[in-house]
Amino acid sequence: MSFLSRIFGKRPDEREALRPLWHSVVAMARAKGWYAGLGVADSKEGRFDMVSLVLAAVLLRMEREPEMAQSQALLTELFVEDMDGQLRQDGIGDPTVGKHVRKLVTTLGGRLGALREALPAGAGALVPVLERNVTVLPGTDLSALAQAVAAMAASVDRVSRDNLLAGRIAFEPA
């Protein structure tokens, strides 16, 4: 901590410890298998859909351990920060960026709820969730995508708490 930070009480950003996990979420969401093999549209919408889907699976894993509540909140803040930056890069200005970010966070919340309900029922229950929440190419086999999403969520569930928080998670869809 620098001298000025000590004087003015500026603390290090707590989110920094979770940045490797955020990067792992994004890497998993951008895995080519989702797009080339399973029919997710390789577009801004499709990529957002996969980031929010993978993030929802990670947040659900964290939800199982109440002591990870603070980490859940910080990871969500990293999502918001990233989406804010993406919107600004796309030319969305200050007057409306907050409105857009709120919509994206609401979308994430909806995906969390949908996955929370569907995952325990198996891949078949994920098909209508994916139909509503993922931008796919025409003719996409949603049952294959549902199998891959279920496998991804199961993979995330098996990761130890320490490995999860350190971002040591990976999943490559077939």
Task: State the 10-residue block means of pLDDT for the chain, 174 residues long.
Answer: 58 87 97 96 94 97 95 93 74 72 86 96 97 96 97 97 96 89
| Burial class (CB within 10 angstroms; exposed 0-12, middle 13-18, buried 19+) of 16 | exposed
Identify whether 147 is part of a domain: yes
Tokens of 133: 């929440």
Per-residue pLDDT, 99: 79
Strand partners, 40: 136
Domain with 94, as residue range(s), is: 16-163
Identify whether 127 is part of a domain: yes
Residue 90 sits at φ, ψ, to 5 deg, of: -80, 0
Identify whether 148 is part of a domain: yes
Identify whether 11 is part of a domain: no
Identify whether 25 is part of a domain: yes
Identify whether 130 is part of a domain: yes
Per-residue pLDDT, 11: 66
Per-residue pLDDT, 8: 65
Residue pair 122/27 in contact by the 8 Å Cβ criterion: no
Identify whether 168 is part of a domain: no
Identify whether 9 is part of a domain: no
Helix ranges (DSSP H) in the chain: 3-8, 19-29, 32, 44-63, 69-89, 94-118, 123-133, 142-158, 161-165
Closest CA to 43 of 52, 35, 32, 33: 35
- b vs e for 127-152, b when ≥16 Cβ sit within 10 Å of the residue's Cβ? bebbeebbbbeeebebeebbbbbbeb
- The total number of structural domains in the chain stands at 1
Supply the pTM of this predicted model: 0.88
